[in-house]
Amino acid sequence: MILTFTIKGANTSTYFYNLAVSVHLVGFYLSRIRMFNENVRLFIAGQFLAGFGMAFWSLLFNLYLQELGLTKDRIGITLAIANFATAIIALPAGIYISRHSQKLTLIFSQLLFPLLAGTAIFLVGPSFLILLFLAYGFATFMRVIAGPFIMANTTHKERTYVFSVYFITTVIGGVLGNLMGGSLQQLFRRVGIEAVVGYRWAILVGIFLIVLAIVPYFFIKEENRIEKPARFHLRDMAAWNWPLFIRALIPSVLVSIGAGIVLQFVNLYFKDTFHLPDSAIGSYMSLQAFAMAAGAVIVPSLAERFGKVTTIVGTQLLSIPFMLVLAFTGDIHIAIIALTIRSGLMNMANPVSNTLLFELCKPTEQAVINSLLIMFSGLAWSISSLAFGRFLKGNYSESFIVAVVLYFISSLLYYYFFRSVEIEDESLEAIELIKQT
C-alpha cells in the first residue's frame, strides 16, 4: 500500500514538474517573440501570404504538366530549366541585395514572379520556357533576401526564434495552400471545367495570393539599414570568406541533389504509386508541413540544450530510415507516416542552420552566402531533375535510395566541418557564465 502511494506520488510530482517545465518553455518562447520588431512582423506576414500562394504552384505545376501530356523526362527538363534560372540569378541577386533597398527588392520581385508565371501557364513552346526561366529568376530574389533581412532586423537573443517563426509561418501558409489548391482543382473538375483549364485557374488563385504579400511590405521601414557601397568589383570577391563558404556549400549541395531527386516529384509519387486524387495529395503534403512546423517550434530549445551542430546533424540522420521506408513500402498509410516524419526531422533544423551560418558571416557577406547556397541548390536541383527522368527513368524507389546515400554523406561532412564551431560556441557560453557568477 505504501509502495503504491509512493509511485502515485512520484507520478503526480513528475506530472507537475513536466507541466511547470512546459509552462516555462512556452513563456520563454513568447518572451522572445515579443522582442520581434515591426519590420520582422510585417516581413513574416508577407511571407505567410507568399508561402500560401506558392504552395498552389508547388502542388499543381507538375500535375498540370503531366495533364498536358508531358512525359517524366520532359517534366524533368522543364524543372531543370527553372532551377537553372535560380542558379544563374542567385549570386547577382545576392550582390544586388547587399547594395540596394531590401524593401523595394521585396516588392518588385514579389510582383514580377506572379506576373511572369501567370502568363507562362497560358503559353506553350519556347515562350513558355522563357517566361518560366524569368519567373524563377525573380523568385530567387525573394529567397535570397530572407536571411539578410532577418539578420538586419534582429539581435542575437531572438534571432533563432525569428528564423523559427518565419519558417513556421511559411510552412503553415504552405499547409493551407496545399489543402486549398488540391480541393479547388477538384472542385473545378466537378463543375465540368476541363482538367487543364482547372489547373490553370487554381494556379492563378495562388498567384493572386502571392501578389497580396506585397501589402505588408509597403509598411516596412528601412531607417536602420546599413549603408552599403553602390558599386561592385570582381576584386571584392577575393575578400569573401571562401573557406567558410566552401564548408557550407559542400554538404548543402549533396542534400540538394538528394532532395531534388525526390521532393520535386513527391506529388507524382503519390499519383503514380497510389493513384490518389489531387485533393488527397494536397492533404497528405500538408501533413508534411505540419510536421515541419512542429519541429521548428521545438528546435530552438533543442539547439540551446544540445548545441546547433549536434541538433542539425542529429535530426538529419534520424530522417534517413523513413526515406528507406518510402523506397520500399506499397502501403499508402505507411508511406504517409514515413513522409510526414521524414519531412519534420529533415527540415526542423533549418532555422538553426540559417542562424549559425549567418552569425559566422560578416553583415556584408550574408546576402552573398545565401545567394551561393541558393545558386548551388538550383544547379543541384537541375541535375536532379534531369537525373530523375534520364538516368533513374522515373523509378521512385531508386530515387529514394540515392537520396539516402547523399543525405548520410552530407550529414557526416557537416559535422566534420562545423564541430569546432560547436566547441567554440560552448566555450564562449561557459566564459560568459563564469563572468556572471
* More confidently predicted of 396 and 313: 313
| Structure confidence by residue, pLDDT tens digits, 274-290 | 888 877 887 887 788 77
pLDDT exceeds 60 at position 62: yes
Selected residue with higher pLDDT from 218 and 12: 218
379 contacts 83 by C-beta, under 8 angstroms:
yes
pLDDT of residue 424: 57
Q: Which three cell numbers stand for residue 255?
A: 542534400
Report how far residue 127's alpha carbon sits from residue 64's, in angstroms, rounded to the nearest whole number.
Answer: 17
User: Does 148 score more than 60 pLDDT?
Assistant: yes
What residue spans define the domains of the chain?
37-221+244-436
What is the average pLDDT across 295-302? 81
> Per the structure block, which three cell numbers stand in for 119?
502568363
Q: Which residue has the higher pLDDT, 363 or 205?
A: 205
- Percentage of the chain exceeding pLDDT 70: 84
In the structure, what pLDDT confidence band is assigned to residue 407 with cuts at 50, 70 and 90? very high
Cell numbers that stand for 198 in this block: 482547372
Tell which wins on pLDDT, 17 or 309: 309
Contact 181, 282 (CB under 8 A): yes
What pLDDT is stored for residue 314 in this prediction? 93
Q: What is the mean predicted confidence (pLDDT) over 61-66?
A: 87
Q: Could you give phi then psi for residue 166, rounded to 5 degrees? A: -60, -45
pLDDT recorded at residue 389 = 66
For domain 37-221+244-436, the CATH architecture is Up-down Bundle (1.20)
Burial class (CB in 10 A: 0-12, 13-18, 19+), 79: buried
Task: Kindly write down the DSSP assignment for every residue of 26-46, as one continuous string.
Answer: HHHHHHHHTT--HHHHHHHHH
275: left (phi over 0), alpha (psi -120 to 50) or beta: left
- pLDDT bin (cut points 50, 70, 90) of residue 429 is very low
- 370 or 335: whose pLDDT is higher? 335
Exposure of 111 by Cβ count < 10 A (0-12 exposed, 13-18 middle, 19+ buried)? middle
Contacts 24+ apart (CB under 8 A), 332-335: 332/274, 332/276, 335/270, 335/273, 335/274
* Distance from the Cα of residue 59 to its chain's centroid: 15
Question: Which pLDDT belongs to residue 4?
Answer: 45
Identify which has the larger pLDDT, 418 or 224: 418
- Over residues 307-363, the pLDDT tens digits come to 889 999 999 999 999 999 998 998 999 999 998 999 888 888 887 887 788 888 887
| Cα distance between residue 294 and residue 185, in whole Å | 28
Q: What is the reported pLDDT for 190?
A: 86
Q: What is the DSSP letter of 240?
A: S
The three cell numbers of residue 202 are 487554381
Residue pointed to by grid coordinates 509552462: 23
Q: What is the DSSP track for 191-232?
A: TT--HHHHHHHHHHHHHHHHHHTHHHHTT---TTPPP--S--
Which grid coordinates are listed for 211? 501578389
The whole-number pLDDT of residue 29 equals: 63
